[in-house]
Chains A and B, each alone.
Chain A
Amino acid sequence: EDQVTQSPEALRLQEGESSSLNCSYTVSGLRGLFWYRQDPGKGPEFLFTLYSAGEEKEKERLKATLTKKESFLHITAPKPEDSATYLCAVGAQKLVFGQGTRLTINP
């Protein structure tokens, strides 16, 4: 059965302080790895899809990378509006989610 573990559970950064979020996964065969952003009381907002090791995707201050066992979401020079919970999921039709990393960016 697919499993996803995210670390850290929570991360507090100062505005402009870059960091990375980790997503480790165990799957029988990777069909896709997805990153989502979730604000409190809202639905997950799609960010990136990665399908094969070595793949990278970038959007504004966010960059997602993928290896055979884990994915990283790098955030460069974050702003307070980047504060949210970031979710990682694996699968195809059935997505298996991690518990998320709650990111807080202090001004």
Chain B
Amino acid sequence: EPEVTQTPSHQVTQMGQEVILRCVPISNHLYFYWYRQILGQKVEFLVSFYNNEISEKSEIFDDQFSVERPDGSNFTLKIRSTKLEDSAMYFCASSEAPRGEQFFGPGTRLTVL
């Protein structure tokens, strides 16, 4: 069964450093998303991406964040200068259609020290 994969599973970084979180969406999906979940809190939307463009982003997704589809299979989230409050689980998701079900990856746990 096709699934979304994410690497790394756990990333530890120092405050102020740049991190890149990687995702491989399901191959025939066209819509891609990033969400985050701070420990004990709700899953929060960050950004949606379609046709090589951001289609929607939340207030959390400020200038420190960027997304890219560098090739036909990968989808990345970059945080330019990490802050302590960026520590969270980051989930990538993909869907076949804009109102369709989103399938989530296993997540990357980001720890900022």
A residues near B (Cβ < 8 Å) are 31-32, 34, 36, 41-46, 49, 51, 87, 89, 91-100
B75, CB-defined interface residue at 8 Å: no
- The 0/1 profile, CB within 8 Å of A marked 1, for residues 41-60 of chain B is 11111001010000110100
Interface-side segment among B62-70, B80-88, B101-109: B101-109
**Interface of chain B: mostly helix, strand, loop or mixed:** strand
CB interface residues, B 84-113, toward A, < 8 Å: 89, 91, 95, 98-107, 109
Given contacts A44-B43, A45-B104, 5 further A-B pairs with CB under 8 A are: A41-B107, A93-B98, A94-B45, A95-B45, A95-B102
Which 4 A-B pairs rank lowest in CB-CB distance, beginning with the nearest? A43-B104, A93-B48, A97-B43, A92-B99
A49 CA / B31 CA spacing, docked (Å): 17
B56 to chain A: which residues have CB within 8 Å? 93-94
Tell me whether B99 and A32 are in contact (CB under 8 A).
yes
Binary A-proximity of B28-43 (CB < 8 A = 1, otherwise 0): 0001010100000111
Looking at the assembled complex, report how far the CB atom of A99 sits from the nearest CB atom of chain B, in whole angstroms.
Answer: 5
- Enumerate chain B residues within 8 angstroms of A91, measured Cβ to Cβ: 45
Task: Indicate if the CB atoms of A43 and B91 lie closer than 8 Å.
Answer: yes
